[in-house]
Amino acid sequence: MLIPCLACDSKFRPDEFFEACSDYNRGMDLVSWTCPCCGNRDDLRVLPGELGFGYPSRGRFDVLDRVRVPGLRRQRGELRLDISLDRSSWHVPSRLRQPV
Ligand SMILES: [Zn+2]
């Protein structure tokens, strides 16, 4: 199972891919991802069994491309997103966007 960068077509193992996730936007349900190869920054949605790539528009996120990742699971937390696949898991922290 390899996950592609949609910008440069490099392919990554899940551990390489999910370690490059940096910021969970809980409101939009998106994680930021920076390609370790080409530096492209993308937003994607982690869904059960797949990843959704797309573009934000008018306050929503439209998923245009889906990449199947069999067995992928997610758990939304208050301040982070937990992603798990097989026996591995990754935690993507939320950035606090609105300091009081
Ligand atoms: Zn890339």
- Please check the confidence at residue 53 and state whether its pLDDT lies above 70: yes
Question: Looking at residue 98, what is its pLDDT?
Answer: 56
The pLDDT, as a whole number, for residue 100 is 52
Q: Give the total residue count for the chain.
A: 100
Rounded CA gap, 12 and 80, in Å?
Answer: 23
What is the predicted pLDDT for the residue at 55?
87
Tell me the pLDDT band of 57, cut-offs 50, 70 and 90: confident
Q: How many A from CA of 34 to the centre of ligand 1? A: 8
Q: Tell me, in angstroms, the distance from the centre of ligand 1 to residue 39's CA.
A: 6
Contact 49, 70 (CB under 8 A): yes
Q: Does the model's pTM come out above 0.75?
A: yes
| CA 40 to chain centroid | 13
The pair of three-digit structure tokens given for residue 1, joined into one six-digit string: 């199972």
Mean of the pLDDT values across residues 39-63? 93
Instruction: Spell out which residues have Cβ within 5 A of ligand 1, the ion.
Output: 5, 7-8, 10, 35, 37-38, 40
